[in-house]
Structure 1
Amino acid sequence: DAMSSVVCLRTPALALPVRAVRGARASRAAAVTPAAVARPAGVKTSNEPSDRALQASAAPATATSALAALTFFAMPEAAQAAVDPVASAFAAYGHYLGLVLVVASLTVEKMLIKPEMTEDEAQKLVVADSVYGIAGVLVLYTGYLRITQYGKGWDFYSHEPIFWVKMALFGVMGSSSLFNTIKIIQMAAKKANGEANSSAIGEKLSARMQKIVNGELLAIGSIPLAAATMARGVGYGDGSFPWQAGAGGVAAVCLGLTVKYVKEAITWEDEKVVEKVEA
């Protein structure tokens, strides 16, 4: 019928229930017809009771199918997921995997950063920071896919203030990590040049790097809360929030923190270096 055709065109996920309804109608009709044929000759029969029974039994299934169709029309994101559920699932998996790797690498960094690190610990720190960078790119890329292709759509997220709060948290996490990354690269460069005690850092630098890792963990821990409230439309209102304001705020935060931490890392002088100069 017309409703079944519309449902099939709307999403393949509803095609199976519709076929089941049609099959149920056919099986009921086939079950009623032989009984009527088997009656003795000369006995008048009427198809009206059978027709009524068939219509009555098919009505709930038809109503269920129509309700499912209306549900999918009201929730286009569900229909979108039904079109390519495998790709959507892999995008979500990659996003969550990236977040787990970010937390794991930051935890390893927090455990390794200390004054007078050994060469082995310094090498592990380089690996952990590399994993952190790769995981951050994975989170960013899969997040882009989920926003533009598999989620509620850019039109929703761009006018959701908490979405921009989430992006700002991610920007804070990424920008602040530049300080530690630069110092780790400097240590690796010293080791490559054959300098003695290349992995040794002072108390002051160690405390600063630990403080930054703590801030990154706080930011990544706040992102799931922002994501949960964002997905439920908290703060969305009438959808009039200008995306330009959100994007501008995130850009300003990222740019400002990037300049701050890069400059601080490049101009940093450890207390050991200062002592040598004074001596």
Structure 2
Amino acid sequence: MTPQLSDLLLALLHHLAVFALVAALFSQYLLLGGQPDAARLRTLGQLDKGYAALAAGILAIGFARAAHGAKGWAFYADNPVFWTKIAVFGLIGLLSAVPTLRFLRWQKQGGLPDASSWRGTRRWILAELLLLPLLPLLAILMARGIGL
């Protein structure tokens, strides 16, 4: 496989995984807009597992792109915009821990959460969604050599 084709495939996988992550997160947000019920709780748990797998995949593919892509690691390693993007992604990941722990606790307890906890969890998801647009903004800045 040529380096250009490898770079293209890594970029495609990275973008598709990001789109899927956004879809999973927005689906959680929508589900939490309704009333708690067992089916929603199960679906939220499944979406959350997919979200975690996608986040891990995005990191792995992203670092593979940085290390083996067309621009090479040197382009990213000394770029503070790249590290800011990683920090924002990490912050979103930290925020996602609260809903994940709640979903797990609710499933383990076998009951349904109270309406206040349900709405509160939706606000955590909203915080993640509000931070997400920073990621493509930072990517755009990097692509234009900002931070070098």
Do both proteins adopt the same fold according to a TM-score greater than 0.5, normalized to the shorter chain? yes
Q: Aligned residue for 2:124? A: 212
Q: Aligned residue for 1:125? A: 44
CA distance in 2, matches of 1:163, 1:129: 26
Following TM superposition, by how much is the alpha carbon of 1:95 offset from its aligned partner in structure 2, in angstroms?
0.5
Larger radius of gyration: 1
Q: Aligned residue for 1:97? A: 16
The residue type paired with residue 64 of structure 2 is L
**Aligned partner (choices 90, 93, 99) of residue 174 of structure 1:** 93
Structure 1, gaps ≥5 residues long: 1-81, 192-197, 237-279
Following TM superposition, by how much is the alpha carbon of 1:208 offset from its aligned partner in structure 2, in angstroms?
2.3
Mean Cα displacement is larger for which, 213-222 or 224-233? 213-222
CA distance in 2, matches of 1:206, 1:151: 45
Following TM superposition, by how much is the alpha carbon of 1:174 offset from its aligned partner in structure 2, in angstroms?
0.5
Aligned length: 148
TM-score by structure 2 length? 0.91
- The 8 Å contact of residues 3 and 70 in structure 2, kept in 1 or not, is answered as no
**Aligned partner (choices 127, 135, 148) of residue 67 of structure 2:** 148
TM-score by structure 1 length? 0.50
Relative CO higher for 1 or 2, CA cutoff 8 Å, sep ≥ 6? 2
Structure 2, gaps ≥5 residues long: none
SS at match of 1:128: helix
Q: Aligned residue for 1:202? A: 115
Percent of aligned pairs with the same residue? Answer: 26
Deviation by residue 1:237-270 (Cα, 9 ceiling, x = unmatched): xxxxxxxxxxxxxxxxxxxxxxxxxxxxxxxxxx
Across the aligned residues of Structure 1 and Structure 2, the Cα RMSD in angstroms comes to 1.7
SS at match of 1:138: helix
Q: Give matches, 1:250-269, under 5 Å.
A: none
**Aligned partner (choices 68, 83, 87) of residue 164 of structure 1:** 83
CA distance in 2, matches of 1:151, 1:174: 27
Deviation by residue 1:215-250 (Cα, 9 ceiling, x = unmatched): 1112222100100101211121xxxxxxxxxxxxxx
Q: Give matches, 1:41-120, under 5 Å.
A: 83-114=2-33, 116-120=35-39
Following TM superposition, by how much is the alpha carbon of 1:159 offset from its aligned partner in structure 2, in angstroms?
1.2
The residue type paired with residue 221 of structure 1 is P
